[in-house]
Structure formats: structure tokens, C-alpha cells
Structure 1
């Protein structure tokens, strides 16, 4: 048998290894989940930036096309260094015209190259200065119309300086326009959905555009701002390359989507881990069980050896006494010793029969034929088998046959053995004179037999295992109680074969009560 300390060390090592494997798997799953979430966040921010840039570029292109058309319609002035661009926008609601003016001053001059020490006599330097302003003109005034005509007539040709002017004019003009006139919900939704699908993100979302942390008209119906889970990017930069607008997006099922991406790996990991745990638990249980069985068998062999040794010794002593010349002629003593030999032989035979009965029960080889019997009669018959033993020890049996109906389907011989075994158990575990109470009663369609003693009782652990084969609460070389742990195992198997149930209630030093329940027959 494996050394107990080695066995314990192996169990600890195996348990630590299993826990380690589970922790490593949990670490990698958690790491994979975090990486998936980071990738999701990156893809979403990338999509938002794409939407923001695309919409802003589309708007800018639209404005520049309009500006270019206006420039092409004006007069070309190539003689002045000052290029003034005027853009007109009518506002029908307020009956006003807004004029955007951008002035670009180009200065060309030469400077001495000695300042830079580059080996040339002089350098050509160009400096561009910019001045912008916005003017609002009332359309119902004569002066306003004249001023507008004069401004529009000074449009210059499109060159590098003009591009700079157009860029700033576009930002000035767009900045004054409300956001719901600059972009539509449908356009944002279309661009965002297409970009997200490129990265296999096909879950629902809600979005909105906020201006200085206040909601605008560009907003989906179910959008709710949540600081911790809302993605945002700047939207529509102004002339100072700053933005008062932010495009915000929420994904209500984000966690579910991220979790589903590793669901297959997680399920497989859990399944394989459970298989390992079940296999390990089963193997550990079998090892512990084998150790227990090994210990029980050792106890059984010790007890059987002790119980066979006593009758064998008694038989040998009786035979030696009979051989004695002084006794062999004494017929009375010879008969007495022969009676002792017979009783001890019967005792050994009974032990062997118990072992054989259990073996046959386990192999389903024991033929148990059943017939209608009166359980009250079987109880009285069983008591007669142990009455002399109880009286010899100065005890008594109290019988209360309260069951008015007591017909059951049972095997008379085997069920009598069941009752005798329980009564014998009560006698053996009564240190003082046995006081046993046997009661029968009817509950619903069942008859109950209670066998109560006032003996030493048993622990909670023993109560759970008392019907196991070979189990005895007294182990090792302690033989203060005869037996080998087969009687109650036999009892349980026979009762269950009769579609019945047996249980025990016990308390240390206060005795035990065994209860058998059998179905009644009409």
C-alpha cells in the first residue's frame, strides 16, 4: 500500500497543477478579451475619424467648387499685389447678405546673401500677409447693393494665394452655418456602417453630434450619452484648427459582441477544463476509495482472524480434553465438550455463510422468492432467536405490534435474518444489559418496523456508512465488539430487494433506532 505521506504529497502536487492550468487558461482568456476590446476600440475610432474627415472634405470640396465658379465669373486683375476675394451669401430669413472678404498681400524683395553665408550675391524672398473680415449688408438699402456690386467686381484669378484665401473663407462661412444644415443623419449612418463592416463590426449603434457638450439636432432616437462607454472624435474644425463639435457613438451590445468573439475558445476551454476536473476528481476518488477498501479489508481480516481463532482454539481444547484418559470415560463431560465443538463449528459456519450471502447478492445470484407473509409474525419469530441471549445478559425486549395491517410480500427466511441481524446488532452494541424496544406501525400504505436500543450509539460519520460492506466503527485490533461489517450490508441489500428502505438515527451514548419501511399488500 502506498505510504500515506507520499500519497498526500502526490495529491497536493496534482491539485496544484490542476489549479495552475485553470489559472493559466483564465489568464489567457482574460488577455484575449482585453486584446479584442482594444482592437474593437481602435477600429471604432478609426471609423469615426474616417467619417469625420470624409464629411468635412466633402463639404470643403463642395464650397471650393462654388468659390471657383464665382472666381471664374469675375474680372482678372493681375497687376495688383493685393488679392481680395469676396464671397456673397444671401439669407432670405433676415433679408441680409453676408460678404466674406479675404485679403492676401504678396511682397517680393531681395536681401543680401551675406546674412546667410551661402555663396550667392542675393536672395529672392516672398512674404504673404493675410487679412480677413466679414460684413453684413441690408438688402433693402441702395448703398448695400452698390457696395456688393463693387466687391464682386474685384474677384481675382485663382492662384496659390487665392487657394489660401479660399480655405479660410470656407471655414469662416461654414462656421456660421448650423450643424444640421452641414451634415445629415443618413450620411453619417451610411459612412459609419460601411467603415465598421470593413472591420467585421456588424452590431447596432446610436450616434449624435454635440456642440460644447450640448446635444444638437443631429442625433439618433435612442442615443444616450455615457461617459465611460461613448466613443467620440472632433467634428468640423474651425479657422483656428479647433472644434466645438464632437461626433459621439454608443454600442449598446458592445460587451456582448466582444464576448461573442471569444465565445468558441471560452466554451472549448471550459469543456476541456471540466473534463480534466472530472477525470482528476474521479481518479482521486478511486484512489481514496481504494485506500479505504484496503484499510477495511485489513480490519476485516484482523476481525475474521480473531473470530475464527477463538472457536478453533475452543475446539482444540475440547478435543484435547476428550483425549484425556480421565475424561474420555466420563460420558457427561464428553457430551458437553462435543456440544461445545458443535456450537463453535456452527458459529464459524454462520460467519462463512454471511460472507457468501453478500458475495451472491452482489452478483445477483441469490434466489429470493417472495410470498405473502405477516410482518408482525416475522418480528415475533426473530425475537425468539435472540431472546435467550438477551435474558442471559439480564436484558429484555419490549414489543409493540401496533400495525393493524401487516401483510407484505417477502421472503420469510431472508427477512427473518434481516430482523435477527438488527436485533443482534442492538445486543452487541449495548455495553450494559440490553434494553430493546420493537415497534410496528402503519403509515399511509407502508408498514414501519422500529428497533430501538439504549446502547453506545454511533457518530454521524458512522451513521452515513454503517450499511457499507466491511465497515465497522471499531477498527484495527480492537475486538471489544464481535463482527466483520457484513451484517448490516446484507440487511440493506435484502430490504432494498423487497422494495423497502432502511435508515438509522443515533446519538453517542444514547442508543440507536433502526427503521425498516416496506410496502403493504391488500
Structure 2
């Protein structure tokens, strides 16, 4: 089982590492493709804008051949003149060009793209700008992180000015290019991260389930061993008593017959109690415990519970102090279950007392306006933090060395938690290994009718 678990964990880890490596490679390729797509769309938008500017601005014309009045076949005076059209800066403002670029980029699904632009009359004089956006110079300094697009503003094909003059150029700078590309795939990254977290959660739950299953198997094995031991002891005692009663001398002695029949009866009660405990555990699993709620005096229930342990307390040489200080001890509770709850806590203190030191058990009560607080404090062997966390788990028993040196099925504290929850109360434990434990119960008080 241990090897299988290790193999499963190794396969899960390798699978997750493989997924991460593939995703990193995929994101790297996606970044390159998205960057190229960005530049393609920017070029497309820029060309659309320059064509529009060219149509509206380059309206100059070439003056045609001039003739003399003498109508000579070959003119004596030929003259040509070019009317220079106004520049882009003469016809358009920085805001107008910026708006045209934003609209064109929006048409290419680049609504949030940050960019700067400029118009230059000389492609070889990058610093001689006719018109530029506010932050163009500042952003053009960061050559390591921006991308630049250089688009000529050419006359429309077939016009008089085609090829006769130097073209103006539109320069577009995209600052922090990689950052903007990453921002464009933000939701893809977030989606991948979410799915990775889901996978990690699934792996975690799978491993946790396997560990819990291993723990449950160990607890069940412990439970079966304890149950076998607890049932085997009374059966062996009954068998010996029956064999003794078959003896003729014993049959002739009425006192001995009563003695052995009494043993059989007590051991039978003991077996019935074990069976009842196991059945009670089944009821707790199904949440099928029925409560007969009624106003009860908790101090009376505590005294009754203590009376049931008088013999064991005397045998242990224990000292028990009852400090019942609560002014109001009337709780709304089920008499049987709350009595069993108190008995389980007293029995727990006796079971886990020190062998070389007399048990000192102090039971105190005090109250608030809403709850009765009952504390069971002992000087027993105590528990470490791990045991305190698991004390209310079903079938869990705090280890004491030999698995059978403390009798029981590990259901007592689970029963306490189930009953206190059914009464809408609370239970908490404080314990120090080697010094003892304190169990604190908070049970709602019965409401007094005015």
C-alpha cells in the first residue's frame, strides 16, 4: 500500500510538472504570435489612415503648357509650375490625426492599445517632425521596449503629384510593447491559472482522500482488534463459569452456584453494553439519535454519574472534588444522553490516570445568562497537540503504549461531541502531555417562562 501511494504521488507530481512545462511553452509561442498579430493590425490601421490623409490633403496640380498669342506651331515660351500642396500639419491638428488613428485601431479590435505618433517630411531626419503627439519624444527614448511602425503618406495613384515630390511619413510608436501584448492575453493567463488551481485542488483532495482512507483502515483494524478483545474476555469468563457449574461439587453447593451464575449474569451485561455501544455508533453515523428534551438539573445528573463510579474511584484511591457553583443549573436536555455524556468524561479521566500517582478529578460548574459551563479537570497522562485535534474522531484512541491497556472502542469522546452538538452546545479540550486534561462543556440553559 505504501509503495502504491508513493507511486501515485510521484505520477501526480510528474503530471503537474509536465502540464506547467507545456503551458510555459504554449504561452511563449502565443506571445510571439500575438505580437506579430498586433503589428499586422497596427500596420493595417496606419495604412488606412495614411490613405485617407493622402486623398484629402494632396490636392496640388501641375500647371499645363502656356502658349503665345501668335499661335506659332512651336511655342517660344514654355513654362511649367508645380503648386505645392499644404502639409499634413497645415491641414490637420494633432487631435484629429490621433482620433483617426484610434478609430482605425478600434476597427482592428485594438481599442486599448497605447501609442504615440508623429508626422515627418523627411524619412532620413527622424528628429525633424512636422507634428507629433504629446509623449512621442519621451516614449521614443525607450528604444529597448517600444515597437516602431514607419508608413509613407503617398499620393493616390494616377494623380499629377505622383513621383514629383518627397513623401511625408507617419511614425507610430507602441510603448511597452511586450507588456501590452501580455495584457491582451490577461484572461487567457487568468483562466490557465484557475484551471491549474483546480488541478492542484483535485490532486490535493485525491492525496488527502488516500491518506484518510489509510488512516480509516488503521482505525478500523484497531477497532476490530479492540472489539475482539473486549468480547473475547467475557466469553472466556462465561465459558469458565459454565465449566465450573458442571462440576458435581459445585452443583452440590448452592452458594457457589449462585456465585458462578452471578458471574455469568455480569459478563452477559458487559457484553450487552459493548453491543449497545457499537449500535449507538451506527445511530450516530445516521444522525438518528432521538432526544427527549426536558428541563433537568445538571447537578443532579452529575451526582448520579459520580455514584456509578464510586467503586472504581475507591480502587484507584482517587480524590474527586465537586465544586458545583452555578446558581442556575436547569438545562433543556435528554436525561439519558447527558447522563452518559458526564459518565464518559468521568470514565475517561479514570482510564487515562497515571499509574504511579493518585487521580485528582475536579468537576466545577458556573453559568452565564445563556449557558451552563461544566469543567472536568484531571491530573492524568494528558495528550499532545495531535491527540487533542483528533480526540473527537470516531474510533480514535489516544495511544498509551499497549493497545489493550486501556479498554474501549474509541467511541466515548465521539459520543460526547455528537450529544453536545445535538444539544446545540460546545465542547473544548485543553491538555498538556504528562500533566492532565480539562474538558469544558457549554450547555444551553432552559428558558424560564414568565
Distance 1:394 1:296 in 2: 33
1:403–1:224 CA distance, 2 compared to 1 (3 A): farther
What are the within-5 Å matches in structure 2 for residues 447-466 of structure 1?
447-466=372-391
Query: For residues 404-442 of structure 1, what are the alpha-carbon distances to aligned partners after superposition, in whole Å with 9 as ceiling and x for unaligned?
Result: 111110011110100100110111111232211111111
What are the within-5 Å matches in structure 2 for residues 470-481 of structure 1?
470-474=395-399, 478-481=403-406
Match of 1:199?
A: 108
Return 5+ residue gaps in structure 2 as ranges: 155-164
Q: CA deviation at 1:207?
A: 3.4
What are the within-5 Å matches in structure 2 for residues 254-265 of structure 1?
259-260=183-184, 263=187
Alignment check: 8 A CA contact 1:303 1:477 kept: no
Matched, 1:286 2:195: no
Distance 1:442 1:283 in 2: 45
Match of 1:233?
A: 150
SS at match of 1:509: coil
Q: CA deviation at 1:5?
A: 1.0
1:55–1:316 CA distance, 2 compared to 1 (3 A): same
Distance 1:366 1:391 in 2: 34
| Match of residue 72, structure 1, among 65, 78, 84 | 65
Match of 2:230?
A: 307
Aligned residue pair count: 426
Query: For residues 171-230 of structure 1, what are the alpha-carbon distances to aligned partners after superposition, in whole Å with 9 as ceiling and x for unaligned?
Result: xx89xx997337543563365346435533234655343887879683456878333346
Alignment root-mean-square deviation, CA: 4.1
SS at match of 2:381: coil
Q: CA deviation at 1:293?
A: 1.6
Match of 1:209?
A: 118
Distance 1:379 1:387 in 2: 13
Return 5+ residue gaps in structure 1 as ranges: 80-152, 159-165
Alignment check: 8 A CA contact 1:299 1:476 kept: no
Match of 1:17?
A: 15
Match of 2:433?
A: 508
TM-score normalised to the size of structure 2? Answer: 0.79
Distance 1:403 1:333 in 2: 49
Q: CA deviation at 1:353?
A: 0.9
SS at match of 1:309: helix
| Match of residue 342, structure 1, among 234, 242, 265 | 265
Between structure 1 and structure 2, the one with the greater Rg is: 1
Alignment check: 8 A CA contact 1:204 1:252 kept: no
Distance 1:326 1:183 in 2: 130
Query: For residues 220-274 of structure 1, what are the alpha-carbon distances to aligned partners after superposition, in whole Å with 9 as ceiling and x for unaligned?
Result: 568783333464537789xxx99998734457999678645673x5566556555
Distance 1:509 1:358 in 2: 30
499-508 vs 440-449, which deviates more? 440-449
TM-score normalised to the size of structure 1? Answer: 0.69
Distance 1:317 1:218 in 2: 113
Query: For residues 351-406 of structure 1, what are the alpha-carbon distances to aligned partners after superposition, in whole Å with 9 as ceiling and x for unaligned?
Result: 11111112123223332111000112212221111122011111111111121111
191-200 vs 450-459, which deviates more? 191-200
Match of 1:247?
A: 171
Matched, 1:218 2:131: yes
367-376 vs 271-280, which deviates more? 271-280
Matched, 1:181 2:90: yes
